[in-house]
Structure 1
Amino acid sequence: MEKIRLTQFSPGAGCGCKIAPKDLEEILKNSKSQKHFENLLVGNDSKDDAAVFDIGDGKAIISTTDFFTPIVDDAYNFGRIAATNAISDIYAMGGKPIMAIAILGWPLDKLPADVAGEVISGARFVCDNAGIPLAGGHSISSADPIFGLAVTGIIDSAKVKQNNKAKEGDTLFLTKPIGIGLVSTAEKFSVAEESDKKIALELMTSLNFVGEHLSNIEGVNALTDVTGFGLCGHGLEMAEGSGLCAEIVFDKIPKIPGVATYIEKECIPGGTFRNFASYGHKISPLDDYRKAIVCDPQTSGGLLIAVSAEAIDDVRETAKKYGVPLHEIGRMKRRESDYSIEII
């Protein structure tokens, strides 16, 4: 029997199937609640990674959900990636995940039920590694395979890390290389190198657990994870939310080794073009190569961290302690032009 390739049933790869930022703003513009919730510490006004609700006694609950269509062919790995990506939003707020439930949409007329079972098994493996139960979920029949999690976390209310609190002079760090969207698209076209596929899989299934420990460092002023909107999209949320400009040194951005080849072969995700169409006017001018990197949609990407000068040593020591790479890629500065991100 021919091996099932899940990406053949995927209209978009992983977080590359996210609705573009500009379109999402249009969807949400008239949906804001007129009621004030005093205990809601973080809602969707700040475009942050998760919602945070104060439950008293100095504690807060973090709530998030994330799901998408297959980014790899293997069902078990699809489950691992989707679960890692969803849990990352808890870490991106500085929190500790405590429980997850599954979200499954499955075309049973196209794909057997046991393949969906493999997806869930992959997700359960990741949840076990994160020390949380996969405690239930909900499933529907759908035209395309969809999977993800809704995740609950907990944190000290005073330690919540938001994406819009960066300060002028902060140094920007990134924990994972860019290029997952390019490699995933190359895999869909059967031209990805095995070595690059291996790197991408390792990145997408590596939990951003260091975020929980970064919450203990006061000088970590802003924190987010880089996913479907790309490095510049999530960098923009940080810069605009903080009223600053992010200056990013292109040559310092870590990249998966084979990305230049995939750009040359035009294995560029549709999400890259949607991203640039949404926010390209807010970025200093880019050539096509740089655009393909900084707008590349990541799935389960790394943490983007804005750190004050006095906290840099603590952040480096924390990253080293937990075996997490830390790449210095730029700084936050006063905005003095029409651009909220300057690529130099």
Structure 2
Amino acid sequence: MLVQSVDVIPPVVDDPYLYGQIATANALSDVFAKGARALSALSILAWDQERVSKESVQAILQGSLDKLNECGCSLLGGHSLSDLEQKFGLSVTGVVLKELWRNNTAEIGDVLILTKPLGSGIITTALKRRVIANAPHALISMATLNVKAMEVLQKFSIHACTDVTGFGLLGHVSQMLNPSISIEIESASILLLEGALELARQGVYPGGSVANQKALSNQVLSHTSLPEILFYDAQTSGGLLAALREEEAKECVQILRDEGTEARIIGQCVPRKSPPLILF
């Protein structure tokens, strides 16, 4: 079975090569979240030729190509256009390896594994506002492909999977709900990018995260002592969020960590309650 996805983002960092890497990791993630291997891609570039140099464009494309090569995905071509706001991304075609992973088929008793830390929206906002000068943990995380995580998850019985991106953790968790289940998230178990907690407490976060919170807050019962905005934070190139049986989860997390991910068990699926999302 073939799967296709498209994702385009504006620059989240100043470095064009790194921007190409992050945008590519972000676009590929949609395919990996379906349990698929990326086969081919078409690039999409919007740029202002009077403000963005050809050298910068070449660096973006090279960063993208390096990430595509890392997972064996072929770049077949692309399209560019003139635009005042720079954007870059990919249309990606993949092939499902075993079975298609859906995002709303988790079962009562499943636990949730998240493969990357949270906080990229907060960190990139702080970088843009010059609140911080650098954020190596966040930059490495955003540029890291989810392909190794997907390959490890293939060894287990995955009931549902998605990737955590613009809707924030709770937004994507809400998409995993079905009429049979509610989902409990243990906030203390979630790994945060370095500096994200302190920045959230200072009120540094993007407007998209605030919008996520407004849209979802009526579905969430919160008892966490941490700033709630962390769990609504709009992510770029976030991790995979997978639901599987509890008896398989610890082994899965250990293998994921052995492969270099920062995976954690962050929650569980329980019988339906109201509201359906519980953050504690």
Same fold by TM-score greater than 0.5 = yes
Give how far 1:289 is off.
Answer: 5.0
The CA distance in 2 between the partners of 1:200 and 1:329, in whole Å, is: 19
1: CA distance, partners of 2:112 / 2:249: 10
CA RMSD of aligned residues (A): 1.8
CA deviation string 1:222-266 (max 9, x = no partner): 111111100000000012x46421100111111113122212332
Q: Which amino acid in 2 is paired with 1:291?
A: E
Q: 1:96 aligns with which of 30, 34, 37?
A: 37
Distance in 2 between residues matched to 1:282 and 1:258, nearest whole Å = 28
Instruction: Determine whether 1:162 maps to 2:102.
Output: yes
TM-score (norm 1): 0.77
Query: Which ranges of 4 or more aligned residues in structure 1 deviate by more than 3 Å?
Result: 285-289
Q: 1:1-344 counterparts in 2 under 5 A? A: 60-156=1-97, 159-194=99-134, 197-209=135-147, 210-218=149-157, 220-239=158-177, 241=178, 243-285=180-222, 289-337=226-274, 339-344=275-280
Give the residue type in structure 2 aligned to 1:184: T
Shift of the 213–252 alpha-carbon distance from structure 1 to 2, 3 Å rule, reads closer
- Structure 2 CA distance, aligned partners of 1:250 and 1:311? 21
For residues 175 and 47 of structure 2, what CA distance do their matches in structure 1 show?
Answer: 33
Q: Counterparts of 1:317 and 1:291 in 2: how far apart (Å)? A: 28
Shift of 1:320: 4.2
What is the number of equivalent residue pairs in this alignment? 279
Structure whose residues are more often strand by fraction: 2
Query: 1:90 is aligned with what amino acid?
Result: V
| Counterparts of 1:212 and 1:79, CA distance in 2 | 23
Deviation, structure 1 residue 90: 1.2
Q: Return the structure number with greater relative CO, CA threshold 8 A, min gap 6.
A: 2
Residue identity (%): 33
The structure with more radius of gyration = 1
> C-alpha offsets along residues 30-54 of structure 1, whole Å, 9 cap, x if unaligned?
xxxxxxxxxxxxxxxxxxxxxxxxx
Counterpart residue type for residue 341 of structure 1: L
Alpha-carbon displacement from aligned partner over 1:2-57 (angstroms, at most 9, x marks no partner): xxxxxxxxxxxxxxxxxxxxxxxxxxxxxxxxxxxxxxxxxxxxxxxxxxxxxxxx
The residue aligned with 1:37 is none
Pick closer, same or farther for the CA change 1:313–1:285 going to 2, 3 Å: closer
Q: Offset at 1:325? A: 2.7
The aligned amino acid for 1:173 is I
Amino acid at match of 2:115: T
Q: CA deviation at 1:82?
A: 0.2
| Cα distance in 2 for residues equivalent to 1:69 and 1:319 | 30
Gap runs ≥5 in structure 2:
none
Q: Gaps (5+ residues) in structure 1?
A: 1-59
Is the 8 Å Cα contact of residues 224 and 279 (structure 2) preserved in structure 1? Answer: no
Letter in 1 for 2:120: I
Separation in 2, partners of 1:79, 1:109: 20
